[in-house]
Amino acid sequence: MKKIRVLVVDDAVVIRRLVTEILSNDPEIEVVGTAANGSIGLARIQQLSPDVVTLDVEMPDMNGLATLAEIRKTHPRLPVIMFSTLTARGAEATLEALAAGASDYVTKPANVGSVSAAQQSVRESLIPKIKALCPRATPPAPAPAPLPRAGGTQAPPVRVAASKGATARVDVLAIGVSTGGPNALAALLPRLPGDLEVPVLIVQHMPALFTKILSERLDHASELHVAEAQGGEALAPGHVWIAPGDHHMTVARRGLRVVAQLDQSPPQNSCRPAVDPMFTSAAHTYGAGTLAVVLTGMGQDGLRGAEDVRAAGGVVLAQDEASSVVWGMPGAVVRAGLANGVLPLDQLAEAIVRRVRGRGGAATLRTGT
């Protein structure tokens, strides 16, 4: 099996060595070269034709953003993973890079007590993203098996035709997203009207600080009011709450109100925040009034929550493969037969508004190529 060819671009020799060693120990990955700055990196891309590039955000002379801009002029489809610091400056630059065409990002290990801990941090965050962005090196994922439930029981997948989607009133819109999410949200939210009649909940797999900056950027671009959840907010129409990094976000009834809740219970699907607890709590709180949307992302977070939404009588929409950066999360939901509709990203806003305003109709089932 042909290995994934990786070029590592970073001005710090320690980071280049760390990443090279970690990636070289994986049998499916080959580091074909390194570069100490953006200019050298651009030359190495031409010489080595890598399958994916890891690119440091902050470098002297030509920084990551400038380098990315040059890469996109000649290699518009080459996967580029930004390597950023877990700081406000790093978060801002990373979101700028994603908007400029970066495929994904990884944060550099911070406040770890040993080299082995730093290696583990990078290994667990970087390698899955490289493989998700270069899936030709791994066999296609099989249809997900029914997920285990408490007490050892299993919930069989619900299989329905997309044309038989529910037409119940919508009371909440819940969106789950991961890899490719910032750009997907930037495309989706501005297309939703400011007077949307339901509250919106979003779980985007991101660390703390990044989610705050993301919410601020989306708030500026959207007619809806977008904010990072603080916990205890009463949900209201026309408002969007994004789960803060390192916290799960759920909802619950408090008298006549429904409020957002935050907790730091163990990660689910290796994520915190995770989509599953948000979807599940929305299904328990709003029942058939839940509209869940699963956007681009690696893994299968959201699958179990989608089961709960469907079991409660709610509706699940999924982004199609062709418009997804990685068709992991939406693909898992589609293969399990849980999606009422599978749509390109540029058609999801219209489908959401139609559902919310009681004109659900039948969605076209499109599973990509």
Distances (CA, A) of 116 to 76, 112, 331: 35, 9, 34
Q: Which of 51, 56, 276, 301 is catalytic?
A: 301
* 205 in active site: yes
Amino acid making up residue 232: G
Give φ, ψ of 168 to 5 degrees. -65, 160
Q: Contact 248/273 with Cβ under 8 angstroms?
A: yes
Query: Strand 52-56 relative to strand 80-84: parallel, antiparallel, unpaired?
Result: parallel
Task: Quickly tell me which residue has 């030509």 as its tokens.
Answer: 62
332 sits in which H/E element: helix 329-335
Residue 154 burial (CB count, 10 A): 10
Q: Which of 178, 215, 281, 324 is catalytic?
A: 178
Q: How far apart are CA 361 and CA 355, in angstroms?
A: 8
* 195 in active site: no
**How many degrees, rounded to 5, is the angle at CA 224 between CA 361 and CA 103?**
85
Q: How far apart are CA 46 and CA 66, in angstroms?
A: 17
Strands (E), 99-247: 104-107, 172-177, 200-204, 225-228, 239-242
* 248 in active site: no
Q: Which of 10, 11, 205, 248 is catalytic?
A: 205
Tokens representing 128 are 């899955």
> What residues act catalytically?
178, 205, 301
